[in-house]
Chain A
Amino acid sequence: MSSAPNVTPQEPSSLAAVLSYLIPGLGQIYQGRYGKGVLFMVSLLGMFLLGQAMGKWQNVYVPDARNQPGGRGNLISGLMIRWHYGGQFWIGIAAWPALWQHYGMTVPEKDTNPFWHNFQKTPEESEVNNFLRISDKTPDLGWVYTVIAGMLNLLVIYDAYVGPLPIPPVWRGAKESFPAKTEVTKEAAV
C-alpha cells in the first residue's frame, strides 16, 4: 500500500484554476497533466449531465423570487429559496445557462427549439409537482448528483491552482504520523 505523499510541488497558476472552473479538468490539461484532466472532465461533466437527465432537465436553475413573499428578482433572493444552484454553479460553463435564463436574455423560440428554450429555466411549479408525483426517487438523486459534481470541481480547481491537496499526516497512519516520537523518547531517556 502506498501511503507516503507523492506530490510534486507546483507554482500557483491562476490561469489553470480559471480554466478548470470553466471546464472541469481543462486547467490540468493546460498544465500537461492530461490523464487527470480527462478523468475530471469526463467524470464531472458526465455526473452533472446524468443528474440533469435524471431530473428531466428541470433541476438546475435559479428561481425567480419575485413571486415569493419578501422575495426580489435578484440572484441572492433566488438562492435563498433554492440553494442548490450555489453548489451547481461551481461546475462552470455547464451551469451558466441558468444565469442566462435568470437574467432573461435571448433564448431560442419555444416552437422551433423547445429543449433549449427551457434549458435550465425555472420550471412551472405545477409542472414540477406533476413530474414528482409520478416519479420515484430518481429526480431527488438527480439534483444531488449535480450538486456533488459542482462541489467536487472546487477540489479540481484547487488541484489546478497549486497541485493536489496535502493529506494531513495523521490520516496516513499512526506509524508515519509520529516519526519523531521514538527519537524524543530516546532523547528523554538519555
Chain B
Amino acid sequence: MLVSLSIYWHLPLMLLVISLVYSATRHDAWDDILVEAFRWGIRMFGFMVLVAIVLFAVAYLM
C-alpha cells in the first residue's frame, strides 16, 4: 500500500496541486499556467531536496 510506504506519500501530490493553483492565479492561458506550474514545481522540489540534504547532514554529523 502506498500509504504504508511513507507518511510523506502525499507530498508530491501537494507539490503538484500547489504549483498548479498558484500558477493559475497568475495566468489565464493554460499554456502559461502549465509552464509556470512546472517552474514552481521544480523550485519547490529543489528547496525540499536542499532541506532534506541539510537535515541528513546534520543528523550524520551529530
Contacts and interface: CB of A to CB of B under 8 A. Distances in A.
B22 A1 contact: no
A165 interface: yes
A188 interface: no
The SS class assigned to the A binding surface is helix
A75 to B, nearest CB: 28
Contacts of A100: none
B15 to A, nearest CB: 11
Chain B interface size, under 10 / 10 to 19 / 20 to 34 / 35 or more: 10 to 19
A7 B28 contact: yes
Nearest to B27: A164
Interface of B: 7, 10, 14, 17-18, 20-22, 24-33, 35
The SS class assigned to the B binding surface is helix
A190 interface: no
Nearest to A145: B14
A2 B26 CA distance: 13
Contacts, number: 61
B21 A163 contact: no
Contacts of B25: 152, 155-156, 158-159, 164-165
A7 B21 CA distance: 16
A47 B32 contact: no
A6 B27 CA distance: 7
A6 B36 CA distance: 12
A43 B7 contact: no
Contacts of B30: 35
6 contacts: A39-B21, A47-B14, A155-B21, A159-B24, A159-B25, A164-B26
Nearest to A142: B10
A35 B26 CA distance: 14
Interface string A16-42: 000000000000000001011001100
Best-surrounded residue of A44, A159, A164 (most CB of chain B within 10 A) = A164
